[in-house]
Amino acid sequence: MNRFINLLRSDWIKLRRTYFFPVHIAVPLIYTVLFLIYQSIKTENYANQLTLFLQLMSLGFPIIIVIVCQIVMQQEYEAGGGFFMMFTSSRVQTILSKLFYLICFGCLAVTLTTFAYLLIRLKNILDVKFVVQLLIVICLCFSIQYVYHLIFTLYLNSAVHFAMAMFEGLISALFLTSLGDGLWYFFPASWTPRIIPLMRYDHLYLKLICLLTIILLLLIFLLSFVISWWHGSKLVRD
Q: pLDDT tens digits, residue range 21-62?
A: 888 888 888 888 888 887 777 665 555 778 888 888 898 898
pLDDT of residue 238: 45
More confident residue, 124 or 104: 104
CA pair distance 49, 35, nearest whole angstrom: 10
Does 12 fall in a domain? yes
* pTM of structure: 0.88
Residues of the chain with pLDDT > 90, as a percent, come to 27
Does 138 fall in a domain? yes
Q: Is the pLDDT of residue 73 over 90?
A: no
Instruction: Compute the radius of gyration of the chain from its Cα atoms.
Output: 18
Does 14 fall in a domain? yes
Q: How far is CA 71 from CA 6, 158, 174, in A?
A: 20, 10, 29
Does 72 fall in a domain? yes
Burial group, residue 18, by CB count within 10 angstroms (0-12, 13-18, 19+): middle
What's the whole-number average pLDDT of the chain?
Answer: 83
The domain tally of the chain equals 1
Per-residue pLDDT tens digits for 154-180: 888 888 889 999 999 899 999 888 888
String of b and e for 145-170 (b: at least 16 CB within 10 Å)?
Answer: bbbbbbbebbebebeebbebbeebbe
Does 40 fall in a domain? yes
Task: Find the domain containing 62 and state its range.
Answer: 2-228
Q: Is the pLDDT of residue 235 over 50?
A: no
pLDDT of residue 204: 74
CA-closest candidate to residue 105, choices 186, 22, 172, 222: 22
Q: Is the pLDDT of residue 190 over 80?
A: yes
Long-range own/partner contacts, residues 208-217 (CB < 8 A, 24 or more apart): 208/137, 209/136, 209/137, 209/140, 212/137, 212/140, 212/141, 212/144, 213/140, 215/144, 216/140, 216/143, 216/144, 216/147
Does 237 fall in a domain? no
Does 208 fall in a domain? yes
Does 71 fall in a domain? yes
